[in-house]
């Protein structure tokens, strides 16, 4: 996709991966609408982004379908159309399944999965009408394997990958091949929501920490959007999860994950603020 003069919505766009992606999109000449629930983050993002290009800011709770519909209409008015939707808003509540409340897990599902249903449902009719557009959903390395301390988060990220692939097949089946879909799968990032999480020593050699959010932003803009790749992963060695799962007996693969230190990788997690 040629990004010049395209129009994009980025959810969770005032911090982390979202903010880094906005910077790259604006550098490509994209008009950007930033949604975030955090008003202070929006205020800070304005200082960084306003001088970089045409950008609009709105406080939006993406788990509220009414707000999503309202703000999609606003974005269409501000930018004339929506060519790109980056579903980046995310929530992590680490801990054992029984160590958190059902409310924590419901919030995880609402932010990480249900919000994508709401945003996609709102922008897709116009993309289908024009047979043009690209939706990028942020999944995770945890969307390829099970991770202790991230059971519900992992479930949502597996679901995001499956949803995205199914929607791609629907577009093809409907003769809407101009509507593209990608998932992006970050490993543990050294800063931000997953700060402190890390694999064991063998795992860290093979799948090192992602150094910063711009690594993922680059995968979104350069690989998913410009090259239209289906599922970029960072680091690229995350692809081994899929290949080893395919080649190994299930029991061997589960033992391999233990050797990599996956089962204890969240023990040192603290994130931005431990939830």
Asked, for residue 74, whether it belongs to a domain, the answer is: yes
| Structural domain contains residue 126 | yes
Rounded distance between C-alpha atoms, residue 62 and residue 14, angstroms: 14
Mean pLDDT of 51-68: 98
For residue 273, what pLDDT is reported? 53
Strands (E), the chain: 7-11, 31-36, 55-59, 84-87, 133-138, 179-186, 233-234
Residue 275, pLDDT score? 42
Q: Give residue 274's pLDDT band: very low, low, confident or very high (50, 70, 90).
A: very low
CATH number of the domain residue 224 falls in: 3.40.50.720
pLDDT tens-digit series, residues 212-247: 999 999 999 999 999 999 999 999 999 999 999 999
Quick one: how far is CA 233 from the chain centroid?
11
Collapse the DSSP code of 273 into the 3-class scheme (helix H, G, I; strand E, B; otherwise coil) and give the result: coil
Asked whether residue 265 is assigned to any structural domain, the reply reads no
Q: What percent of the chain has pLDDT over 90?
A: 98
* C-alpha R_g of the chain: 18
Q: Examine residue 106 and state whether it is found in any structural domain, yes or no.
A: yes
pLDDT tier, 271 (very low <50, low <70, confident <90, very high otherwise): confident
Is residue 101 a part of any domain in this protein? yes
* 28 within a domain of the structure (yes/no): yes
Task: Give the separation between CA 115 and CA 246, rounded to whole angstroms.
Answer: 31
Asked if residue 115 belongs to a domain, the reply is: yes
pLDDT tens per residue, range 97-143: 999 999 999 999 999 999 999 999 999 999 999 999 999 999 999 99
Number of structural domains (the chain) is 1
User: Structure tokens of 158?
Assistant: 């597996």
Query: Catalytic amino acids?
Result: 153
Helices and strands (H and E) in the chain: how many: 10, 7
Instruction: Give the pair of three-digit tokens for residue 206.
Output: 């093979």
**Whole-number Å distance between alpha carbons of 58 and 78:** 12
Tell me which residue range forms the domain holding 93: 7-194+208-239
Do 75 and 65 touch, CB atoms closer than 8 A? no
Q: Report the chain's terminal Cα–Cα distance, integer Å.
A: 38
**Whole-model pTM?**
0.96
Give me 47's structure tokens: 């200082």
Secondary structure in 3-state letters for 149-202: CCHHHHHHHHHHHHHHHHHHHHHHHCCCCCEEEEEEEECCECCCCCCCCCCCHH
% residues pLDDT > 70 (the chain) = 99
* 188 in Cβ contact with 265 (< 8 Å): yes
For residues 266 and 197, the answer to whether their CB atoms sit within 8 Å is yes
State the greatest distance between any 2 C-alpha atoms of the chain, in Å, as a whole number.
54
Q: How far apart are CA 47 and CA 157, in angstroms?
A: 32
Q: Which two tokens stand for residue 230?
A: 């289906």
Say if 263 falls within a structural domain. Answer: no
């Amino acid at each position: 996709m040629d990004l010049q003069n395209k129009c994009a919505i980025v959810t969770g766009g005032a911090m982390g991966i979202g903010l880094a992606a906005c910077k790259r999109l604006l550098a490509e000449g994209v008009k950007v609408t930033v949604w975030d629930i955090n008003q202070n983050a929006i205020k800070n993002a304005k200082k960084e982004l306003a001088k970089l290009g045409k950008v609009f800011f709105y406080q939006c709770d993406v788990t509220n379908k009414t707000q999503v519909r309202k703000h999609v209409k606003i974005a269409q008015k501000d930018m004339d159309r929506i060519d790109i939707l980056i579903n980046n808003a995310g929530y992590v509540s680490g801990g054992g399944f029984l160590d958190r409340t059902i409310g924590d897990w419901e919030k995880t599902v609402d932010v990480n999965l249900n919000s994508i249903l709401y945003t996609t449902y709102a922008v897709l009719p116009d993309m289908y009408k024009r047979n043009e557009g690209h939706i990028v959903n942020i999944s995770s390395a945890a969307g390829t394997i099970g991770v202790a301390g991230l059971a519900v988060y992992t479930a949502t990220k597996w679901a995001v990958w499956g949803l995205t692939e199914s929607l791609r097949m629907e577009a093809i089946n409907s003769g809407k091949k101009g509507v593209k879909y990608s998932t992006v799968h970050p490993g543990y990032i050294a800063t931000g929501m997953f700060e402190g999480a890390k694999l064991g020593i063998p795992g860290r050699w093979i799948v090192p920490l992602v150094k910063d959010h711009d690594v993922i932003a680059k995968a979104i803009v350069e690989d998913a959007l410009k090259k239209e790749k289906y599922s970029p992963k960072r680091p690229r060695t995350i692809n081994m999860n899929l290949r080893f799962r395919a080649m190994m007996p299930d029991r061997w693969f589960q033992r391999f994950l233990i050797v990599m230190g996956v089962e204890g990788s969240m023990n040192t997690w603290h994130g931005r603020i431990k939830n």
